[in-house]
Structure 1
Amino acid sequence: MIQGLTLLFLMQLLGEGLVFWLHLPLPGPLMGMLILAGWLVWRGAVPEGLRQASGGLLQHLMLLFIPAVAGVMMHFGRVAHEWLPFLAAGIGGAAVTLVVTALTLRWMLRRSGQPLTDDVPEEAA
């Protein structure tokens, strides 16, 4: 697990360095995650340490939203004054996320050879 966390931090550092060096208009952690995604696709598998570290982070993902919510609440007056762009960004972001997630799932199911069906099993109905 330590190797997985180290890899995540190194990829973030590499992304920060590339963004700074190339003057790219992207956040460094995003660039690091793109590099990590490319490396994982090239490698064809996820190392066990990275799987454990990312699984632990994903289990506690809600904790990562606490600073963002606190930041929004600190500027609640501005949000109340400019509620329409805030609402549009929230709804638009959720819609884009939903579409991208559905397309990614469909692509992964096709790649794995599993059938794409709309049938609901009897137990789930």
Structure 2
Amino acid sequence: MLASLSLILLCQLTGEAVVRGLGLPLPGPVLGLLLLLTLLLARDRFALLAHGPLGKDGVESASKGLLAHLSLLFVPAGVGVVQELDLLASHGIAIVLVLALSVVVTLLATVLTFRLVSRLLKQQDFR
């Protein structure tokens, strides 16, 4: 598991270094994630990559370890919220209204999409 987590962090570090070095308008972790995805897709083609941290056992143990401690990943977000309490207090009502509006818009979009797909599937059944 340690090797797999090290590989994840190495991909993130590589992405961050490339983005900063080339001045790309892209977050470093996103490029690192794309690098990790490329490595995972390539592991089936190359036997050398299929063993070790990229092997199915390595990925599975790392993912189980991350899921077991998933709540720890919310600590930085919670600290960020606590640091901005004065901002939340001054704009609290606007934030609540925007959140409520976004929930309503999301629900409406979901319902309309469901109805459209349902109608298209019914038309397809009659053909």
Alpha-carbon deviations, 1:78-111, whole Å to 9, x = none? 0222333576479859x6xxx8xxxxxxxxxxxx
- Say if 1:55 and 1:78 are closer, same or farther in 2 by CA, change over 3 A: same
Q: Shift of the alpha carbon at 1:49?
A: 1.6
The answer to which structure has the higher helix fraction is: 2
| CA RMSD after TM alignment | 2.9
TM-score (norm 2): 0.59
Question: Does residue 40 of structure 1 match 2:49?
Answer: no
Runs of 4+, deviation exceeding 3 Å: 85-93
Compared CA separation, residues 52 and 90, structure 1 to 2 (3 A):
farther
Matched-pair contact (CA < 8 Å) for 1:15–1:35: yes
Could you say which residue in structure 1 is the equivalent of 2:79? 70
Offset, 1:20? 0.9
Query: Is residue 2:52 matched to residue 1:58?
Result: no
Mapped contact 1:15–1:31 kept (Cα < 8 A): yes
Structure 1 alignment gaps of length 5 or more: 100-125
1:15 aligned to 2:15?
yes
Which 5+ residue runs of structure 2 have no aligned equivalent? 45-49, 111-127
More divergent stretch after superposition (37-46 vs 55-64): 37-46
1:5 Cα offset (Å): 1.5
Larger Rg: 2
When normalised by structure 1's length, the TM-score is: 0.60
8 Å contact kept, 1:15–1:30: yes
Distance 2:35 2:71 in 1: 24
Report the Cα distance in structure 2 between the residues aligned to 1:25 and 1:43, rounded to whole angstroms: 29
The residue aligned with 1:81 is 90
Deviations 1:12-53 (A, max 9, x none): 111111111221222222221121112212334752223211
